[in-house]
């Protein structure tokens, strides 16, 4: 290592991988342990860095508790080489707290146990990860500013020892980080690795184990090695040379890295692929609901499938072929059919084709995560919440990360996390009974971010919450806010409303700057997750009264809004969590728009006055005239005359008068209904909405179905949420089909209902059961809309002359 000449220039950086180590140091002739934070990341100049900073672990206790047990406590602390100091920080009850510094991070948990069990002392913030505590104290949410001397490292460009570290507003994009996509190909039993591909924008190569007959033959985009051991050593060398911030792939951890780790161990090569010579670790999870994880010191490992799912990108299945066709517009060189045999054939007889296939897989993954913006969205969520890239979907931890930062600025400490038990179910959003029927010119008005705006309007906040035992007999409206469920909050600016206001401001600024839709979406995801987090027993603020304060108030707001709109003389036919559906009674789309804007203004003016008068606060809630349906169907619940909930369809008209058929909660948008059902529903509804006769269409569709014309559209797709042997009480059709397969390659099971029962598409032997599809898929859809006209599917099939809907 050597010192750099321009070492004092401050640079912005982004923390990819924070961790810590306990080091031994000699002080006055004796060995002393010290805790050191290691921050690995990428600088704005494109170089990788490691910043090393000494730091002390700590937590808080009430100053009153300390004074009460001072003598005994001092002895306990001395045993742990811990110290205590008074602070001007306070807990939620406005009591002063003192800060206990532990010698080592691991001592915090030990001290907490001793203080709670032996002294019944409440410990504050004793559950926070050591490196996270450091980032919070320095207000680092991903980006930082580094200044100081540095050295060149073996696996990292710069090593800063004891630099000056500050928070930074630098907003790196995914292009500022180096992403490496990798893929391995093996024999059919995964006993031998044939080749490994590495793809980055400035590097694309495949390392392949050559056969004796092929050694010396040049292969395009390939490096040929003589053995599997050489392959692994070359791969390790290239990873260090390319120095990626992020390693990605498809099913990367459960397949590629699992095999690589086994092979590294088999050949006695240290499984070290990080930015320091520490071993890489894997945590494999066989459960569908939990993702496996990889710990590569100094780098992030992000599976492409998980990135898409975390970014709410839905696919029919998450096979690479499906994603590549959807987002890259290409199919893989080797398809799923006989894949293993083809890979072995090409390895033995056409290595160039295998190289091309292997490299293409890596390139596809790289292109998919960039074209879907899933990597950029993940990075943005990280920068907003301060979570590492692999933990952005952890909504409880994300709120925790933000709340701790805001509380620290206000000199407030939080209780340590204790898992609560959900002793009562959380109240859901209000869903009004609908009035079924077919309507013209329907207005949809919804509240912009209703739950976040309720939190801000009514100051629903863990810090401002007043426990039942602390509530005064006479609650002053000037000093307190009482929500719809009776929860009481101080009338002040709380911590959570402040967080939401700031995140909201970021969203508004992003819209003004015309930032990418991903940026705006990332902010929306975070803001809307806060309600659910408060109702989660894993949250340190878990309190059903606080989370129910949001939903009960939401219900009250929708019901009051419905009343105000009815006072204007309009019929509200449906109300959902944050929206109302209003029949305008207008004769034209233009007149309907005017009524929508009139309702919007009337309701917003009402709430501005009402909130000020009743709660002595400013109203943040805002109703928006959102949509206009030219024709709108509110169906009944199957088998009854009661209106359905969260199910409707209609012809949506945009501001340019462009029409679109829209389904919500109907079979057309549900993944577990077949394509034949969706095709029938779309065509039937278009006909009815445009007042075209449907009798002959329905009869012909059923006839064609029974004649096999739609056989390619009869596939059911249903996901398995647990292991097959756990389905014991009942065996659903998709589980029966799954059990016929030799091996599960996906949790999405595709099957056809045959005359012999459900069969997976991979092992289809019998004829489809056409009567099943008519009865279970076609008939329910037809009856949904025909019931509005007092007709039924059976009426039409009877060939009755009275089956006409529109009298012609």
Predicted confidence at residue 421, as pLDDT, reads: 52
Whether 697 is in a domain gets the answer: yes
Asked whether residue 98 falls in the same domain as residue 50, the answer is: yes
User: Which string of DSSP letters, residue by residue, matches 260-278?
Assistant: HHHHHHHTT-----SSSSS
Tokens linked to 44? 């704005």
Can you give the CATH number for the domain in which 696 is found? 1.10.132.60
Contacts of 728 (CB under 8 A, 6+ apart): none
State which H helix or E strand residue 501 sits in: helix 495-512
β-pairing, 716-719 vs 748-754, is antiparallel
Rounded to whole angstroms, the Cα distance separating 607 from 560 reads: 10
Pick from 280-284, 367-371, 483-487, 528-532: least confident: 528-532
pLDDT at 666: 67
Per DSSP, which regions of 201-250 are E strands? Answer: 203-209, 222-225, 246-249
Q: Give residue-wise pLDDT tens across range 527-554.
A: 888 888 988 999 999 999 999 999 999 9
Of 34-48, 665-679, 709-723, minimum mean pLDDT range: 665-679
Residues 152 and 199 in one domain: no
Q: Which of 53-67, 278-292, 364-378, 559-573 has the lowest mean pLDDT?
A: 278-292
789 within a domain of the structure (yes/no)? yes
| Helix extents (H) in 513-588 | 517-534, 544-567
| 31 in a structural domain | yes
Mean pLDDT of 112-123: 95
Cα–Cα distances (Å) from 268 to 228, 262, 280, 308, in that order, read 12, 10, 14, 35
Which of 624, 653, 682 finishes a domain?
A: 653
DSSP-derived secondary structure for 55-88:
--EEEEEEHHHHHHTHHHHHHHHHHTT-EEEEEE
User: Which of 387, 379, 85, 355 is closest to 196 using CA atoms?
Assistant: 355
Q: Is residue 320 a part of any domain in this protein? A: yes
CATH (domain of 621) = 3.90.1600.10
Instruction: With respect to residue 427, please indicate whether it lies within any of the assigned structural domains.
Output: no
For 648-701, strand residue ranges (E) read 648-653, 659-664
The whole-angstrom separation of Cα 258 and Cα 208 is 19
Confidence (pLDDT) at 798: 79
260: nearest Cα among 286, 296, 289:
296
Q: Percentage of the chain surpassing pLDDT 70?
A: 93
Q: Are residues 27 and 71 in the same domain?
A: yes
What is the per-residue pLDDT for 294?
96
Note whether 204 and 152 are same-domain residues: no
Q: What is the number of domains present in the chain?
A: 4
Do 683 and 606 lie in one domain? The reply is no
pLDDT band at 2 (very low <50, low <70, confident <90, very high): very low
297 and 215 housed in the same domain: yes
Q: Would the CA dihedral through 763, 767, 771, 774 be positive or negative?
A: positive
Give yes or no: residues 189 and 318 share one domain: yes
- Say which CATH number the domain at 113 has: 2.40.50.590
Report pLDDT digits (tens) over 221-255.
999 999 999 999 999 999 999 999 999 999 999 99
**What pLDDT shows up at residue 5?**
45
Give me the pLDDT at residue 1, please: 41
Q: How confident is the model at residue 805 (pLDDT cuts 50, 70, 90)?
A: low
Question: Would you say residue 552 lies in a domain?
Answer: yes
What is the maximal distance between C-alpha atoms in the chain? 105
- Report the run of H or E that residue 354 belongs to, with start and end: helix 351-371
pLDDT at 629 (0 to 100): 96
Buried/exposed 242-251: b ≥16 CB within 10 Å, e otherwise: ebbbbbbbbb
- The residue ranking higher by pLDDT, 1 or 295, is 295
Query: Considering the chain, what is the average pLDDT of its residues?
Result: 90
Helix (H) or strand (E) holding 37: strand 30-43
Q: What is the pLDDT confidence band of residue 778, given thresholds at 50, 70 and 90?
A: very high
* Domain end position, chosen among 323, 355, 385: 385
Q: In this structure, are 263 and 319 located in the same domain?
A: yes
Is residue 579 domain-shared with residue 724, that is, in the same domain?
Answer: no
Residue 808 above 80 pLDDT?
no
Tokens 């809309």 locate to 785
pLDDT of the residue at 264: 98
CA distances to 90, 94, 412, 594 from 64, rounded to whole Å, are 11, 12, 16, 63
Angle, helices 395-409/374-385, rounded to nearest 10 degrees: 30
What is the torsional sign of CA 303, 309, 313, 316?
positive
143-147 and 11-27 beta bridge pairing: antiparallel
- Is the domain of 787 the same as that of 700? yes
Give the pLDDT of residue 291. Answer: 84
* Domain-terminating residue out of 653, 687, 708: 653
SS3 at position 502: helix
Alpha-carbon distance of 77 to 57, in angstroms, equals: 14
Residues in the chain, how many? 808
Q: Given this model, what pLDDT does residue 53 score?
A: 97
Provide mean pLDDT across the span 426-446: 80
**pLDDT for res 3:** 52
Mark whether 243 and 108 lie in a shared domain. Answer: no
Taking the model in full, what pTM does it have? 0.85
Of all residues in the chain, what percent are helix, strand and coil, respectively (each to 5)? 40, 25, 35
3-state helix/strand/coil string of 308-337 = HHHCCCCCCCCCHHHHHHHHCCCCCCCCCC
| CATH number of 307's domain | 3.30.420.10
Residue 393 lies in a domain: no
Q: Could you tell me which of 778, 776, 751 has the C-alpha nearest to residue 676?
A: 778
Domain identity same for 632 and 690: no
667 — pLDDT class (breaks 50, 70, 90): low
In a domain, 404, yes or no: no
Closest residue by Cα to residue 113 from 101, 104, 121, 125: 121
Q: Which of 276, 273, 389 is nearest to 21 (CA)?
A: 276
What is the rounded average pLDDT of the residues 717-740? 85
Q: State the pLDDT confidence band at 779, using cuts at 50, 70 and 90.
A: very high
| pLDDT tens digits, one per residue of 575-618 | 888 999 999 999 999 999 999 999 999 999 999 999 999 999 99
Structure tokens at 112: 């907490």
What confidence tier does 804 reach under pLDDT thresholds 50, 70, 90? Answer: low
Q: Determine the structural domain holding residue 727 and report its residue range.
A: 674-797
Q: Above 90 in pLDDT, residue 787?
A: no
For residue 143, give the nearest of 114, 171, 118 by alpha carbon. Answer: 171
| DSSP secondary structure, 139-180, as one string | T-SSEEEEES-EE--SSSSEEEES-EEEE------GGGS-EE
């Amino acid at each position: 290592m050597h010192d750099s000449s321009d070492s004092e220039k401050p640079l912005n950086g982004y923390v990819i991988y924070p961790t810590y180590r306990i080091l031994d140091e000699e002080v006055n002739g004796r060995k002393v342990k010290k805790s050191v934070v290691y921050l690995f990341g990428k600088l704005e100049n494109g170089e990788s860095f490691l910043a090393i900073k000494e730091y002390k672990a700590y937590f808080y206790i009430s100053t009153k508790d300390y004074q009460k047990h001072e003598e005994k406590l001092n002895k306990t602390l001395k045993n742990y080489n811990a110290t205590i100091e008074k602070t001007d920080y306070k807990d939620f009850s406005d009591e002063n707290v003192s800060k206990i510094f532990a010698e080592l991070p691991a001592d915090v948990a030990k001290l907490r146990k001793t203080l709670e069990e032996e002294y019944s002392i409440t410990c504050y913030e004793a559950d926070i990860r050591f490196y996270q505590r450091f980032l919070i104290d320095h207000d680092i949410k991903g980006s930082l500013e580094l200044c100081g001397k540095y050295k060149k490292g073996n696996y990292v460009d710069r090593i800063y020892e004891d630099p000056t570290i500050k928070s930074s507003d630098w907003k790196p994009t995914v292009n500022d980080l180096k992403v490496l996509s990798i893929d391995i190909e093996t024999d059919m039993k995964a006993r031998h690795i044939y080749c490994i591909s590495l793809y980055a924008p400035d590097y694309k190569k495949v390392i392949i184990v050559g056969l004796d007959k092929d050694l010396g033959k040049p292969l395009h985009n390939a490096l040929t090695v003589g053995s599997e051991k050489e392959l692994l050593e070359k791969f390790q060398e290239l990873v260090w040379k390319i120095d990626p911030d992020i390693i990605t792939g498809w099913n990367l951890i459960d397949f590629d890295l699992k095999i690589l780790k086994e092979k590294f161990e088999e050949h006695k090569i240290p499984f070290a692929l990080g930015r320091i010579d520490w071993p890489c670790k894997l945590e494999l999870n066989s459960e569908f609901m939990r993702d496996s994880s990889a710990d590569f010191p100094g780098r992030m490992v992000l599976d492409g499938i998980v990135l898409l799912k975390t970014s709410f990108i839905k696919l029919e299945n998450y096979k690479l072929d499906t994603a590549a066709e959807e987002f890259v517009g290409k199919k893989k060189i080797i398809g799923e059919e006989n894949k293993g045999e083809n890979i072995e054939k090409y390895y033995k007889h056409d290595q160039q084709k295998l190289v091309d296939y292997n490299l293409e897989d890596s390139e596809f993954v790289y292109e998919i995560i960039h074209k879907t913006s899933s990597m950029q969205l993940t990075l943005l969520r990280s920068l907003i919440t301060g979570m590492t890239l692999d933990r952005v979907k952890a909504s409880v931890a994300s709120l925790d990360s933000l709340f701790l930062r805001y509380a620290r600025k206000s000199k407030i400490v939080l209780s340590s996390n204790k898992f609560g038990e959900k002793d009562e179910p959380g109240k859901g959003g209000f869903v009004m009974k609908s009035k079924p029927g077919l309507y013209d010119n329907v207005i949809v008005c919804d509240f912009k971010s209703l739950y976040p705006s309720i939190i801000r309007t009514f100051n629903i906040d863990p810090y401002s919450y007043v426990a039942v035992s602390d509530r005064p007999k006479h609650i002053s409206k000037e000093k307190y806010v009482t929500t719809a469920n009776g929860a009481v909050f101080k009338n002040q600016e709380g911590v959570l409303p402040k967080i939401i206001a700031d995140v909201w401001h970021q969203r508004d600024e992003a819209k003004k700057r015309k930032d990418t839709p991903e940026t705006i979406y990332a902010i929306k995801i975070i803001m809307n997750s806060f309600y659910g987090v408060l109702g989660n027993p894993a949250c340190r603020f878990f309190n059903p009264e606080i989370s129910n304060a949001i939903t009960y108030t939401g219900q009250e707001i929708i019901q009051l809004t419905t009343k105000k709109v009815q006072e204007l003389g309009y019929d509200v036919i449906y109300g959902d969590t944050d929206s109302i559906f209003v029949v305008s009674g207008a004769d034209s789309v233009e007149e309907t728009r005017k009524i929508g804007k009139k309702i919007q203004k009337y309701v917003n003016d009402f709430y501005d006055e009402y909130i000020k008068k009743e709660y002595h606060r400013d109203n943040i809630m805002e109703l928006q005239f959102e949509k206009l349906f030219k024709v709108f169907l509110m169906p009944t619940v199957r088998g009854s005359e009661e209106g359905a909930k969260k199910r409707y369809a209609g012809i949506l008209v945009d501001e340019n008068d462009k029409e679109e058929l829209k389904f919500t909660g109907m079979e057309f948008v549900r993944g577990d209904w077949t394509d034949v059902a969706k095709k029938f529903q779309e065509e039937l509804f278009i006909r009815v909405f445009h007042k075209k006769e449907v009798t002959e269409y329905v009869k012909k569709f059923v006839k064609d179905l029974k004649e096999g014309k739609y056989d390619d559209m009869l596939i059911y797709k249903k996901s398995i949420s647990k292991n097959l042997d756990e389905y014991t009480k009942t065996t659903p059709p998709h589980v029966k089909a799954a059990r016929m397969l030799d091996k599960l390659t996906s949790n999405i099971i595709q099957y056809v209902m045959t005359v012999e029962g459900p069969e997976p598409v991979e092992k289809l032997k019998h004829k489809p059961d056409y009567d099943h599809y008519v009865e279970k898929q076609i008939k329910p859809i037809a009856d949904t809309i025909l019931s509005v006209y007092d007709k039924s599917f059976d009426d039409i099939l009877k060939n009755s002359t009275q089956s006409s809907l529109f009298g012609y």
